Amino acid sequence: MGRPRTEGGARGDLVSDRGGSEPILRVEGVTRVYRVDSREVPALRGVDLAVQRGRVVALRGRSGSGKTTLLNCIGGLDRPSSGTVWLEGRDVTRLSDDDWVALRRHRIGFVFQAHALLATYSARENVDLMLRLAGVKRGERQRRAEEVLSMMGLARWMEHRPFELSGGQQQRVAIARAIAPRPSLLLADEPTGELDSATGQQIMALFRRVADRDGTTVLIATHDLAVDAFADEVIHLEDGQVVERRAGGWGARADSFSMPSA
């Protein structure tokens, strides 16, 4: 297949321009092939893309298009069969398992459709645990946990356990947990998939706030068309390849958008 189609004068090398600086994330020729019995099943077929710091990028495509596999290869939950992933100028493709654990604790945050909160821990304790794993001292852990939960509109629910929270509130706790260590990259896999439209918009507004306030780069794998309005860029995958990239709706919307209340 030829080079991906672009719109709005965007460059075909899939670089999201912001200030002309080096991209925080670069994916070069990444493939992923799984062996099923005696067959080889390609999930990614030579993906190339680059993303600047502080961008929100939506990865779109049908089920099986390679969205989740790409996120997993970027975040070290899976290994590319070939190609290279660069994060903040560092080739992370061949890191040891221990190095990947350290990188995920400090530089990469994950948000999944299943919130994976610890059921016996309060919202604050779920966030505190992530900070403890990242080596943050106790006093700073408390300050950061309260800061990010308040940012998520959960100041009144910090001591509530997951079963006492709505689905949208649980997702906000998961986002707070992911951003508390101040990662440079946030990877979200179908974060609005189980939420109603109003709650989904609140969640996307929070991702937008994280990107704009902290300069965190956010990649979102999604089927949700409403996500496009909050994205700087939309990248379409089909059969494991990037087939199109276009501007998201945020540039036209940012000046008139007001954050929904928590």
In a domain, 261, yes or no: no
Encode pLDDT of 99-124 as tens digits. Answer: 999 999 899 999 988 888 999 999 99
In a domain, 259, yes or no: no
- Band of the pLDDT at 4, cuts 50, 70, 90? low
205 & 85 share domain: yes
146 & 102 share domain: no
27 & 98 share domain: yes
DSSP-derived 3-state class of residue 259: coil
In a domain, 231, yes or no: yes
Structural domain count, the chain: 2
Encode pLDDT of 24-35 as tens digits. Answer: 999 999 999 999
Report the alpha-carbon distance of residue 64 to residue 68 in Å, rounded: 9
Report the alpha-carbon distance of residue 76 to residue 162 in Å, rounded: 27
Domain of 96, in residue numbers: 5-107+183-254
145 & 216 share domain: no
- Band of the pLDDT at 252, cuts 50, 70, 90? low
132 & 16 share domain: no
Distant-in-sequence, close-in-space partners of 130: CB < 8 Å, separation ≥ 6 = 177, 178, 180, 181
CATH number, domain with residue 26: 3.40.50.300
Residue 44 pLDDT > 70:
yes
Residue 222 pLDDT > 60:
yes
